[in-house]
Each structure stands twice: as structure tokens, then as C-alpha cells.
Homo-oligomer: A and B are copies of this chain.
Amino acid sequence: METARHLQNCVDRNETTSGPRINRIEEANLAMNTRRRSRKGAGREAKLAARTQAALPITAWIDRKIPYFEVLNEEGLALIEENAETVLAEIGIEFREFPAALRLFKEAGADVDGERVRFPRGLCRSIIQSSAPREYCQHARNPERSTMIGGDRTVLVPAYGSPFVLDLDKGRRYATLQDFQNFVKLTYMSPGLHHAGGTLCEPVDLPVNKRHLDMVYNHIKLSDKPFMGSVTAAERAQDSVEMAKIVFGDEFATNNTVMTSLINANSPLTFDATMLGAATVYAENMQATIISPFLLAGAMSPVTVAGTATQILAEALAGMAYIQLVRPGAPVVFGTFAAAISMQSGAPTFGTPEQNLIIFVAASLARRLNVPFRTGGGLGASKMADAQAGYEAANTLQTSALAGVNFMLHTAGWLEGGLAMSYEKFIMDADQANMIAVLLGGIDLSENGQALDALHEVGPGNHFLGAAHTQANFETAFYRSTIADNSSFEQWQKDGSLDTAARANTQWKKMLADYEAPVLDQAIDEALQAFIADKKAAQPDQDY
């Protein structure tokens, strides 16, 4: 009931955001605000409201208004579903060093043999379909930024997990906390990115066992978009939950979703204790998890599209069923990350047609299961933000958008197979993110959209620039790229003959210079800092 009401609040809010949206914070997510107000006092909502009015335009997600591209027909999809059930029944999935999962699956009717779990046909699907939500609201500390994940909605999220960063000034280097903070800020300021993401880059200057505290804190402090929690250990997931409780209130943060976190399968057909531990913490606390087979096809899955799609479905079914056994109703996302290896060198490749076909199939399979779907991103193997990076990223972004991604991780910044987060490419991808919103927004078939008046007014051989219809629409007509140079060759020369990366370099620096932090209630900030200080003092630094 409560959940349903939040969902409706969340939806209502976005549906009205096409008009002016000043002060809608007060109307939105009343339940959450009420809880927070009672705990922290009411002053901060007013401040928040005042602050947000001056911020960039916000769209908390994209409402899809175009069809999905279905690459396979019913028969083809049913064949892959049938094969995935065969894999689950005959080969099974290993859940390593995590007896709790084995126990739950045994109780649910699976055949447990050591750490290998074999599932009667249809068991995982029926567990998922009996309780996993089709879509869910992930609340943000700024209710205007609370987002809906699933259904006909698309949420774009920056890249995740790079140990390196790259920019034109300092080249490629290990990422630091300052880089992480920079990407939180850039994401906060990018209207096409609806979600702050998680490990935007690895702050490798901080100890492995403590850096999650700084990442979660900086997401909360420097941004007000929804974010992801830590998954590198169960206790770090628990820390993420504790910090969320400080921000959202104890009860709210364990009965509503305020984080969506990334659980990779250890493909093929294996889940390990680390990921299962983190996933369990999140599910117990009603936090969303993305169960993501992470495949380099040819090495970690078969060398065919259909075989890889089969494995993806089997792994996702098993992982999502586990989440529903831990806490029925906890949001869970069907994830897909599929690169293909070069059969010559073993190197991962991106933006290629087989991967795109896998994405199309996986999206269809997730829709048939009726759960949210994660894939995509501006993926690529290029070492720099050059033409290869552009082709690769666009190929995967377009495919994912048309396939029907709900949660597009790695939308912006990704380079070098995910090893490097690029400041310049982030700017380029954020522009593509804006374009995806226009594409998915579809075609206006209103009378104004049909523009018959304009055609009548202008007639053969004339131009439309001065037409009344053009004048009435030109401010909103046609997406305006934030990074493309469309000027003449001569003008471009006059402007310094800059390539896209050079223009992007100027842009991100200006954005960081212009950045203003959203207001965070001082009491919350202090409580978070105290929590982190306690945690850091309680154990020595570790590098694992």
C-alpha cells in the first residue's frame, strides 16, 4: 500500500513536469517529506525548494513514446527461454561460499548438490513473477530527482568502475577522490543524466576498505540525484544502507528504495559470496539490485548470439529469484553487459553487431519476464575520445535506446573497455543522452506537429524560415547539440580548428568552475561525517 502510494507520487510528479515546476517539491513524495520533517525539522525543505528553482531543468526519467525494436519473434524468444530453462535444470548455477542462498533455494524446491543448484523448469520465473515489481521508484534526497525505473521509462546513468581517468591536460592516470567528486558534479549538472550512478571512478588514493564511505558521502553531499551503493563487501553494502538511513530516515530507507546497486554474476553460471553478500543486504533493506551477467562472449559465454542470450537469461533468472526469496517485492533489475572478445587477441570489443543483437534479445526477454532491464552505455575499446570512441559509443547507445533499456549504466564517460573514465568523452556522451530523450519522446502528431498550415503558407519554392509556424516553434524545434560544431569550415578554422575533444575539454572545466552544490541539511551532513569517522577509526586501512 505504502509502496503503491509512493510509486503514484513519483509518477504523478514526472507526468506534470512538462509544465512549470516551481515548488513542486512540496507536493511530491509527501510521505517521505513528512517522515524527514518529523526527524530533522522543516526548514530544509524550504531551502531545498528555493535552491532547486535556480537549478538546471530536471527530467527525472524519460517516458518512452516509441515502440520497442524486437529482433526476434515469439518463436525465437520462446526457444531461448526454453533453452535457459534447460540450462537451469540440467547444468544449474553455482552459488559459492554462501550457504544461505543454498538453503533458500532448497526450501523453494530447487535441487541443491554441493554448491550447484539445479532448478525445476519454470521455478525461477514463477518466483520472480510472483513478487518482483515491474517498475519501482528510487527516491532521491531531492524528491524532484526521484526516478522511476522500469516499464516504459528510461533512466540514463554515467559510467561505473574505472580505475583510471583521462583528460587532455593530464593524460591517463589513476583516479582519485577528487576525480570522483568531479564526476559527481558533472553528472549533477548534466540534465540528460537522471541518476548519479555509483563508482564513477575508483578513488584509488583511498584504502579499499574505506573508499565506499567517501563515495556514498560525496554522492549525497555534492548531488541530489539518486545514487548507487557499494557492492564490494556485505559490510560495505550495510554501510551504504546506514548512510541512506541518516539521509532518508530509518524506516523510510528500509521500506522504500533509495539505492540501486550493481550485482555482477561471476559468469559463466556462478555467483560468488561477495556479490551475494551485498545483494542480500540490499534486498533485506528493500534496496534495488541489478543482477547483471557480465560477459565477454567467446570467453565467458558461447561464441554465438543465441547461446550468449541463453546464458544471460539463465544467470539473470537465478540471481533475480534469489533476491525475491530474500525479500519478496524487493526491486530487482535484469542486467546485461555483453562484450565480445576478439577471437584473435582475446581483447574485449564493443559497439559491434553481435553485441547489439544480444542487447535487443535480452531487452525482449526482460520485457517478457516483466522486470526492469539494464544494459547499454557509451561502451568502447578506444583509448581516447576519438572517432572510434564515437562510433562505438553511438552504436551501443542507439541500440540500447531502441531495445528498451530502463536503466542505462555507463551512458557517459566510458573509454578503454571501462578501464578509464574520460572527462572529454563524458561531455560528448551527455550530449547523446539528451538526444536519446528526444528520440524516445517520439513524433508529435498534433495539429501543430502536422504543420499543414506551414505547408499551405509557404508553398512551392519558398523557404520556411519566416513562416508563422516556424516562428511559433523555433525555440523548441530540433535538438541543439551541446558539443557538435555545425558551423562552416571557415568559421571552424577561425575558432581554432578544434576537434571535439578539445571543445569538450573547455566545457567540463567551465562546468566544474560553475558548479554550485545543492543544499544539504547541516544536521544530516554532520551525522554522515560522524558515521564515517567512526567507521574509519574502527578498522585499519586495507588494500583489498
Is residue A383 within 8 Å, beta carbon to beta carbon, of the partner chain? yes
Is residue A55 within 8 Å, beta carbon to beta carbon, of the partner chain? no
Is residue A187 within 8 Å, beta carbon to beta carbon, of the partner chain? no
User: Which one, B352, B441, B450, contacts A306 given CB within 8 A?
Assistant: B450
This chain's copy number in the assembly: 2
Q: Which of the 9-residue segments A82-90, A99-107, A224-232 touches chain B?
A: A82-90
User: Please, which residue of chain B has its CB at the minimum distance from the CB of A452?
Assistant: B83
List which A253-311 residues lie within 8 A (CB) of chain B. 266, 268-270, 297-308, 310-311
Asked if B76 and A456 sit within 8 Å, CB to CB, the answer is: no
Residue of A351, A387, A419, A499 most packed against chain B (CB within 10 A)? A387
List which A446-478 residues lie within 8 A (CB) of chain B. 448-452, 454-456, 458-465, 467, 469-470, 473-475, 477-478
Is residue A436 within 8 Å, beta carbon to beta carbon, of the partner chain? yes
Q: How many residues of A contact B (CB 8 A)?
A: 128
Asked if B387 and A385 sit within 8 Å, CB to CB, the answer is: yes
List which A467-516 residues lie within 8 A (CB) of chain B. 467, 469-470, 473-475, 477-481, 483-489, 492, 497, 499-501
Given contacts A394-B395, A464-B300, A474-B298, contact A449 B306 (CB under 8 A): yes
Is residue A246 within 8 Å, beta carbon to beta carbon, of the partner chain? no
Asked if A303 and B478 sit within 8 Å, CB to CB, the answer is: yes
Is residue A405 within 8 Å, beta carbon to beta carbon, of the partner chain? no
Residues of chain B within 8 A of A478, CB atoms compared: 297-298, 303, 340-343, 349, 352, 354
List which A388-446 residues lie within 8 A (CB) of chain B. 388-395, 398-399, 402, 416-417, 419-420, 425, 428, 432, 435-436, 438-439, 441-445
Is residue A91 within 8 Å, beta carbon to beta carbon, of the partner chain? yes
User: Please, which residue of chain B has its CB at the minimum distance from the CB of A450?
Assistant: B306
Complex Cα distance, B299 from A175, in Å, reads 47
8 A-B residue pairs with CB within 8 Å: A269-B459, A298-B477, A303-B477, A307-B452, A307-B455, A344-B480, A386-B386, A387-B389
Is residue A539 within 8 Å, beta carbon to beta carbon, of the partner chain? no
Asked if B439 and A383 sit within 8 Å, CB to CB, the answer is: no
Is residue A357 within 8 Å, beta carbon to beta carbon, of the partner chain? yes
Distance to closest chain B CB from A354 (angstroms): 5
User: Please, which residue of chain B has its CB at the minimum distance from the CB of A441?
Assistant: B353
Given contacts A297-B478, A298-B474, A388-B390, contact A461 B94 (CB under 8 A): yes
Asked if A439 and B353 sit within 8 Å, CB to CB, the answer is: yes
Is residue A361 within 8 Å, beta carbon to beta carbon, of the partner chain? yes
Asked if B357 and A268 sit within 8 Å, CB to CB, the answer is: no
